[in-house]
Structure 1
Amino acid sequence: MSPLIPSLLLHIIAIVVVVNGENSTIYEILKDHGLPMGLLPKGITRFDFDGTGRFEVHLDQACNAQFESVLHYDMNVSGTLSCKKIEELSGVSAQELFLWFQVKGIWVDVPSSGVIHFDVGLVYKQYPLSMFETPKDCMVVGDSEFVDSIRDGKLLAEAIAKRQSANLRNELDRESLGRNQMQ
């Protein structure tokens, strides 16, 4: 057998592997699904992607990336990719004011609209699609910092709710007192 034949076979196998996308990055896979590459931060150390659209990416450490608001990425982020959307997303949270919300899904309705939607549970947040064109640097945060931030946000929300409740009680008491004085 000529030494040229094994070499030729290796080249053909390498071409097939590249054509089948075995060497794709997660950013290219996002782009192939009609999503911007910047949905995931820089610093991904490993990723898995299967034929059903299920993906998992791994970062060295949890981190935050600054967009219009801050996105927090856990060390492991996973979800299911389909055309122009990510469903069953876990490992990503978005900060709104002082509160953190788990991002459950992301989708682009019409790319020409220039808008991307984030499902954060009770509401859908819209961002300019252009913010996510390229992967952002991600600032490392300790899990305890993130947990403290969530706790602080919950404490703030509880304080606001208590304050509103107290204001409502005072208002009702004044109305009741005014009615009693009129009788």
Structure 2
Amino acid sequence: MIPILQISILCFALFAGISISSSSEEEETIYKILQDNGLPSGIFPKGVTEFTFDGETGRFSVYLNHSCDAKYETELRYDTNITGTLSSANVTDLSGISAQDLFLWFPVKGIRVDVPSSGLIYFDVGVVRKQYSLSVFETPRDCVAVRRENEVESSVLSLHQVDETLGRNVI
């Protein structure tokens, strides 16, 4: 009976040790990975549902529930899937983020922080590099769902159909 009691105590101690060590580990997030690579966590909005990151190549994918817009010094639009390559203070081969300038949307191809003490972050939008204050991107922003043009058209069509059934033609 004593050996059974000793085995039971040993098993309990092992399971308790496993649960304690797993709860003390910090869950890695895309925001933490950005910070570990010298980038501010706010370059991605709140609401990241899932992400993948290959530490060897730096390739990442970030997933959001829906496309959305976030307001910084300018407005940024995030697709549901954002991909790129992460290296020290630099994101290259970026897709899934667009920046608004003069009522036009330009795809952001890269993001870089030259010297953190400069307080500047640069967005490569193809033709030019847009410069922003690094402090603006310190924390992730709320992101408002984007309503696509085809959604607007379909809602107008359904309004038109409702009006036809009522015998009116508003549109």
Same fold (TM over 0.5): yes
Counterpart Cα distance in 1 of 2:31 and 2:147:
25
Residue in 1 aligned with 2:103?
98
Counterpart Cα distance in 2 of 1:10 and 1:44:
29
Counterpart Cα distance in 2 of 1:39 and 1:82:
14
Pairwise CA RMSD of aligned residues? 2.2
Q: 2:33 aligns with which of 19, 29, 33?
A: 29
Is the 8 Å Cα contact of residues 90 and 102 (structure 1) preserved in structure 2?
yes
- Provide the secondary structure at the position in 2 that maps to 1:3: helix
Q: 1:14 aligns with which of 1, 22, 46?
A: 22
Counterpart Cα distance in 1 of 2:124 and 2:20:
44
Q: What is the TM-score of this pair, normalised by structure 2? A: 0.76
Residue in 1 aligned with 2:131?
126
Counterpart Cα distance in 1 of 2:99 and 2:33:
23
Question: By how many angstroms is 1:135 displaced?
Answer: 0.3
Counterpart Cα distance in 2 of 1:29 and 1:137:
19
Q: As a proportion of its length, which structure holds more helix?
A: 1
| Structure 2 stretches lacking a partner, 5+ long | 1-6, 154-171
Counterpart Cα distance in 2 of 1:24 and 1:129:
23
Q: 2:89 aligns with which of 84, 88, 94?
A: 84
Residue type at the aligned position of 1:123: V
Q: What is the TM-score of this pair, normalised by structure 1? A: 0.72
Question: By how many angstroms is 1:49 displaced?
Answer: 1.0
Residue in 1 aligned with 2:167?
none
Q: Percent identity?
A: 54
- Provide the secondary structure at the position in 2 that maps to 1:35: coil
Residue in 1 aligned with 2:169?
none
Q: 1:46 aligns with which of 46, 50, 55?
A: 50
Residue in 1 aligned with 2:165?
none
| Structure 1 stretches lacking a partner, 5+ long | 149-183
Q: 1:107 aligns with which of 112, 119, 124?
A: 112
- Provide the secondary structure at the position in 1 that maps to 2:86: strand
Residue in 2 aligned with 1:116?
121
Give the paired residue count: 143
Structure 1 segments, 4+ long, off by >3 Å, are none
